[in-house]
A and B are shown apart, each in its own frame.
Chain A
Amino acid sequence: MSNNTCDISNDNYAVTVRNVYKSYGDVKALKDLSLDFPRGQLTSLLGPSGCGKTTLLKIIAGLLPADSGEITVNGHPVTGPGPDRAFVFQDFALLPWATVLRNVAFGLELRGVSKSEREAIAEKYIADVGLCGFENSHPHELSGGMRQRVGLARALSVDAQVMLLDEPFAAVDEQTRRKFQEDLLNLVKHENKTFIFVTHSIEEAVYVSDQVAILLPRPSRVSEIIKPEGFRHKDADSIRRDPEYLDIVDRIWSSLRTYVE
């Protein structure tokens, strides 16, 4: 991946969001929201349902325009979708009429990569997410967890620096979810990418994140940023028993519980 040369000032941040406002008619979804996303790290957006997490993610993706404020990716202002970002959708957004292979290659297909080239790349990522042998299956033949892996492989195969994941594990069972969380940690470690990860789950956020941004309910702003650092180097199993991990989960829960009533 060639690095951009014109982003000296924001070099530490892959994505910056400054004073963003967004309303849907009378509904104020985001109000004066600012947040920075450190390069090469995973930041979670955590907050109660309807607080604007998806809205923020779509604004960063360039799928929705902000009413005001500034978003930059690698120092460039966002005006629409770009090759530097890839989205993983909560409902997978797979083409039901296409095979796994075509679905995974579809991002590259839309970007005009030739058939043989994009299928070779897709094959690699299908193997990476553990779907070898399912290249010619259709989405309806796969389980929810497998479908989301197709969505993930599609996003990975376009090799964007910034990965946007909107509750990617919401529709899979608990065991699969835990496996996915471990896989995600490995991805963050090995792929040199910046991850922005929306989740409902406090435990999940603390487990996978370098930085957790807690959003307040509508109109949404960042109320707190927590950086769980102490247990990052530990192995998957001991993290969940680490005192610092449990402590942070508790702290987030106590600051969010007032909104859940």
Chain B
Amino acid sequence: MMRYRSYLITFLSICIVFGAWEIAGRIPVSYAFPTFTETIAAFWALLIKGTLFVAYFETLKPLVVGVLISAFVGIGIGLAIGLSRMSDWLLSPIFVVMQTAPLAALIPLLIMIYGIGLTSKVAVVLIMAMPVIVLNTGSAVSNTPASMVEMARSFQGSKRDIIFKIILPAASPIIFAGLRLGVSAGFIGAVLAELKITPTGVGDIITFSRSIADYPSMYAAIMSIILLAVIFLQVLERMEILLFKGRGRGHASEE
């Protein structure tokens, strides 16, 4: 019952947003702002022609590579930061700077170093996705309940056991939250890279349709990014639920 109600509310709020969009497009707020129905039509056309699929094949390359690297390396570095004060001092500042750095200003520098190919785009995704993953993992790991670690030590658990059987499971909900934020940031990074470095993939659709004043297609492309990001995050959440099912909601701190 509750579940249907929450679906209903979500559906209603979507209707309100799209309704407002339709009205704003019809007024029109700006000649460059298409109505919702025009956008949907353009979206359908892009889908039928296969343009979107071809585009996403390009866009997803730096995204997938960047997010995978961010996840593995990021969790590794976060673990090091959380476990040793030394690496906290050494590494944390880098990621804090990375997180706050104005990315647009860094892109010319990246192009100078890595050229305009895939590497630069992956770098943009990394800069966007990595810091939040690293910093979340780091703080989750260093906040592992001390008594659980002490318990494992008292039963002569090895360093390895303590990391894999206590620290990582205890930190995993927060690590996953970091991953989710990292993936969303990675999406932004991937599109930004296509707009700022070389227009390929979805970035190309956006740039091209704007240049020929085909605003419905431009908005359709933007909408598709949001849609994909939402689907991706949903999948991640399902994975999380599957992975941690059985453990109580509040979790690690235990009351």
Contacts and interface: CB of A to CB of B under 8 A. Distances in A.
Q: Is the interface of A mostly helix, strand, loop or mixed?
A: loop
A259 interface: no
Nearest to B149: A93
Nearest to B147: A93
B240 interface: no
Contacts of B166: 95
A106 B250 contact: no
B251 A86 contact: no
A110 B244 CA distance: 22
Nearest to A85: B154
B151 interface: yes
Interface string B135-172: 00000000001011011111111100100011001100
B239 to A, nearest CB: 16
Nearest to B158: A110
Interface string A137-158: 0111100000000000000001
B248 A158 contact: no
A91 B156 contact: no
A96 B247 contact: yes
The CB with the most chain B CB atoms within 10 A, among A83, A97, A99, is that of A97
B251 A96 contact: yes
A144 to B, nearest CB: 9
A82 interface: yes
B161 A110 contact: yes
Contacts of A106: 155
A87 interface: yes
B95 to A, nearest CB: 28
B140 to A, nearest CB: 14
Given A93-B148, A95-B148, A140-B248, A83 B156 contact: yes
The CB with the most chain A CB atoms within 10 A, among B148, B158, B251, is that of B148
Contacts of B251: 96-97
A111 interface: yes
Given A110-B161, A140-B250, A93 B150 contact: yes
28 contacts: A58-B150, A61-B154, A63-B153, A63-B154, A81-B153, A81-B154, A83-B156, A86-B154, A86-B155, A87-B150, A91-B254, A92-B254, A93-B145, A93-B150, A96-B251, A96-B252, A97-B169, A97-B170, A97-B244, A97-B246, A97-B247, A106-B155, A110-B158, A138-B247, A139-B248, A140-B248, A140-B254, A158-B155
- State the 3 A-B residue pairs at the shortest beta-carbon distance, nearest first: A140-B248, A93-B151, A97-B247
